[in-house]
Amino acid sequence: MSTSTRQTADVRRAAVLEAASHEFALKGLYGTSTEDIARTAGISQPYLFRLFGSKKGLYLAAYQHCADEVYAAFAEAARGQTGEAALHAMGEAFSELMQNRDRLMFMLKTWATCDDDEICRATRADWRNLVDLAEQASGEPPEIVTRFFSNGMLISILMSMNLLDDPEPWASRLLASCKREMEA
């Protein structure tokens, strides 16, 4: 296979993963049809199955693509940093990635789909890798790393409710508290 054919296949696969992430972000694993994904990706449904084997296979591939982006962003942000500065840089990178609403909602829906054993195993592995990276990059004790991830999850939930751009008083208090903790 030539390099240009391989690049085209890689580009097509990435486009299908983006289309799948968009559709899964809207309707989750159980509410999304492969027909919708194929239509959004501009490919046939049989080709979708040829690429990924099954709807769950596509879901897991799309999730892994997203998780890999988060891991890479964390690693890049932490490079050359230590302590809470590394955690702060990772938090900023995560916040930037989650500005993409499809990515945010897809990640949240994936974590909420852990009643499925395969998805649960994938998310556990992803979280294990992120926690290990945060601990190793920062050198901080588990209590600080736990606070980092706790704040990140809270901010993700607030982002999903569109409360960063238009906060209600209670959300402003939570955000201010997170900000103080991150700067402490």
Q: Enter the pTM of the model.
A: 0.90
Residues 6+ apart with CB under 8 A from 171: 158, 161, 163
In angstroms, the CA 82 to CA 184 distance is: 15
The pLDDT of residue 47 is above 70: yes
Report DSSP state, residue 82. -
Sign of the four-CA dihedral 63, 29, 17, 151: negative
pLDDT at 111: 96
Percent of the chain scored above 70 by pLDDT? 95
> pLDDT band for position 16 (50/70/90)?
very high
Q: Locate the domains of the chain by residue range.
A: 56-183
CATH architecture of 56-183: Orthogonal Bundle (1.10)
Ramachandran region, residue 54 (left: φ > 0; alpha: ψ -120 to 50; beta: rest): beta
Please choose, from the candidates 81, 178, 77, 179, the residue with its C-alpha nearest in 3D space to the C-alpha of residue 138. Answer: 81
